[in-house]
Amino acid sequence: MASASSQPLTGKALLQKLKELPHLSRREIAKACGYYTEGRGGRARVNLTEFYDAILAAKGIPINPDAHKDSRGREPTYRITVHKNGQIVIGSAYTEGMGLKPGDEFEIKLGYKHIRLIQTGHQGEANGFEVGPGRL
């Protein structure tokens, strides 16, 4: 990250250094704050991404607020759209959330402005959910 002789600046020290060097370019400021590595032939390589991340962290802005989430995909939005072919696809995040398994069957009931899916063959229980304005 930084040169062998010093550690890069972080926190208040980094913010103070930024105020002292407004006349330099971004690369020169990053290098002055220690965000570079010595490349081949002693040439400095500036690490702008790490520099910008350190500035955000120093200002208290979370760099990766979703770090605690599962890295397998997006979070469900509870909204769906009709595809060009007229189909509606309900993703696995919703079916897993309801505890559904492959092969579960539903009866489709069409309402005025909604679609209701009622699970069938579930020991007499009527489990279901509704798709309509303001839902999914």
Same domain, 86 and 133: yes
If one compares 120 and 85, the residue with the highest pLDDT of the two is 85
Q: Average pLDDT, stretch 1-17?
A: 76
Q: What is the pLDDT of residue 103?
A: 86
Give 32's DSSP letter: H
Is the distance from CB of 50 to CB of 8 less than 8 angstroms?
Answer: yes
Domain assignment of residue 4, yes or no: no
Give 41's DSSP letter: G
Same domain, 74 and 136: yes
Domain assignment of residue 80, yes or no: yes
Which domain, by its residues, includes 93? 69-136
Between CA 120 and CA 24 the distance in angstroms is 69
Domain assignment of residue 47, yes or no: yes
Q: Average pLDDT, stretch 97-124?
A: 81
Same domain, 124 and 76: yes
Domain assignment of residue 34, yes or no: yes
pLDDT confidence band for 29 (50 / 70 / 90): very high
pLDDT confidence band for 85 (50 / 70 / 90): very high
How many domains in the chain?
A: 2
Domain assignment of residue 63, yes or no: no
Q: What whole-number percentage of the chain has pLDDT above 90?
A: 10
Same domain, 22 and 82: no
Domain assignment of residue 5, yes or no: no
Residue with tokens 């605690």: 68
Grouping H, G, I as helix, E, B as strand and the rest as coil, residue 44 is strand
Domain assignment of residue 1, yes or no: no
Same domain, 35 and 82: no
> Tens of pLDDT along 110-123?
888 888 888 887 55
If one compares 67 and 3, the residue with the highest pLDDT of the two is 67
Domain assignment of residue 39, yes or no: yes
pLDDT surpasses 50 at 19: yes
Nearest-Å Rg of the Cα atoms of the chain is: 27
Between CA 48 and CA 51 the distance in angstroms is 5
Between CA 19 and CA 2 the distance in angstroms is 20
Give the contacts of 19 (CB within 8 A, at least 6 positions apart). none
The candidate with the shortest Cα–Cα distance to 132, out of 115, 117, 112, is 115
Q: What is the pLDDT of residue 136?
A: 44
Same domain, 86 and 136: yes
Grouping H, G, I as helix, E, B as strand and the rest as coil, residue 82 is strand
